[in-house]
Amino acid sequence: MNERVVSGISQEEDHSIDNSLRPKRLSDYIGQTRLKTNLEIAIAAAVQRQESIDHILLHGPPGLGKTTLGNIIAAERGVSIKVTSGPAIERPADMVSILTRLQQGDVLFIDEIHRLPRIVEEVLYSAMEDFVVSWVIDKGLKARSMNLAIQPFTLIGATTRYGMVSSPLRDRFGSAYRLEFYDNESMREIIRRSARILEIEADEDGIREIAARSRGTPRIGNRLLKRVRDYAQVVADNLITGHIAKDALTKLEVDYLGLDDTDHLVIRSIIEKFQGGPVGLNTLAASISEDADTITDVYEPFLLQIGFLDRTSRGRVATRQAYDHLGIDYPENDRSKDQPNLF
Ligand code: ADE
């Protein structure tokens, strides 16, 4: 697949710059107000009691700041953070090794926690509940399990798939928060802040244009800001105006809602190949040669959010707004989509 400029998935080239744009403290973190308030209380209470913060599960679409929040929580609590991911921990021994190295109160951040192998996940249960790890030593008749106390710690799990976190694991988190897409005002504030940090000149119209096309996702907004900066540097004396931003983003094939050619392909495929749906996820994925998980994690959440897509028990359905956006007539007489599911 081509590099996708509106992808919520992180890309290597951006890591160091992205890092400089990440807010380091809760007071710099824009938006997600409800979540921020709850976290402030949880952190303050733990500090007062001199305890570790209860385990936290963060879920929601990619690029909304789950890792950033993990780092902020550790910084606010004044502890170290160890960042890893579900697929990176293959064996129970790897998990034991990580857990036994944690210092008192430390944060362990596991991204894509729904992808932890089950036998690795099982090591976490007693660690989370009682700060004890147990594992089996020796084999056959001599096999016995050893228990080892570890330091109290805070697990922060992050996932784009809340439903794929097993219930025994989910039950062991003290709280679970869903990160929402950012509203337009928050996105403008985030882009304005990033422009300031990167010393990019942009007027309010320029910022508004970039924010509006960022799919409510800071990671995408920051990436678009950098691409528009390139354009402004080459054709416009470095100043990002509304006009320049619009030109640059149109050339990048990001439309005024932030949809790119792959989003269009998803919708167009449902409308043209499947008469507007319903169509099953795997059929849809095959029809556009895209990975089903990528559709679920990256494309679908925003298309659902803006009301272009519906998920029904029989599959995905394109809405009237989606037809209108692509300039395709909505089939008024086709009542099949309105009928209840009789099967
Ligand atoms: N950069 C990425 N996410 C952010 C946020 N929520 N607030 C400020 N800057 C950000």
Residues 329 and 269 both lie in one domain: yes
Cα 28 to averaged position of ligand 1 atoms, centre (Å): 8
Regions of the chain short of the pLDDT cut 70:
1-17, 333-343
Decide: 150 and 132 in contact? Cβ < 8 Å. Answer: yes
Looking up residue 202, the CATH number of its domain turns out to be 1.10.8.60
Question: Of the residues 39, 71, 193, which should be mutated to test ligand 1's pocket, given the most ligand atoms within 8 Å of the CB?
Answer: 193
Question: Can you give the residue range of the structural domain that contains 83?
Answer: 32-178
Which of 159, 178, 197 finishes a domain?
178
**pLDDT of 221:** 97
Q: How many Å apart are CA 257 and CA 237, to the nearest integer? A: 27
Decide if 12 is inside a domain: no
Residues 172 and 188 both lie in one domain: no
Residues 43 and 165 both lie in one domain: yes
Decide: 216 and 305 in contact? Cβ < 8 Å. Answer: yes
Decide if 8 is inside a domain: no
Q: How many domains does the chain have?
A: 3
Which of 178, 205, 223 finishes a domain?
178
Decide if 37 is inside a domain: yes
Q: What is the pLDDT of residues 121-159, one digit of tens each?
A: 999 999 999 999 987 778 888 888 889 999 999 999 999
Q: Which atom of ligand 1 is nearest to the CA of 29?
A: 7
Looking up residue 283, the CATH number of its domain turns out to be 1.10.10.10
* Ligand 1 binding residues, C-beta < 6 A: 21-23, 29-31, 65, 68, 190, 193, 218
Q: What is the pLDDT of residues 238-290, one digit of tens each?
A: 999 999 999 999 999 999 999 999 999 999 999 999 999 999 999 999 999 99
Residues 267 and 328 both lie in one domain: yes
Catalytic residues: 66-67, 111, 160, 219
Question: What single string gives the DSSP state of each residue in 227-272?
Answer: HHHHHHHHHSTT-B-HHHHHHHHHHTT--TTS--HHHHHHHHHHHH
Decide if 98 is inside a domain: yes
Residues 227 and 158 both lie in one domain: no
Decide if 297 is inside a domain: yes
Q: How many Å apart are CA 124 and CA 134, to the nearest integer? A: 10
Decide if 330 is inside a domain: yes
Decide if 124 is inside a domain: yes
Residues 280 and 225 both lie in one domain: no
Q: Please report, rounded to a whole number, the percentage of residues in the chain having pLDDT higher than 90.
A: 87
Question: Of the residues 18, 26, 64, 68, which should be mutated to test ligand 1's pocket, given the most ligand atoms within 8 Å of the CB?
Answer: 68
Q: Which atom of ligand 1 is nearest to the CA of 182?
A: 6
Residues 37 and 170 both lie in one domain: yes
Residues 244 and 278 both lie in one domain: no
Cα 29 to averaged position of ligand 1 atoms, centre (Å): 5
Looking up residue 160, the CATH number of its domain turns out to be 3.40.50.300
Which of 212, 227, 251 finishes a domain?
251
| Nearest protein Cα to ligand 1, atom 2 | 218
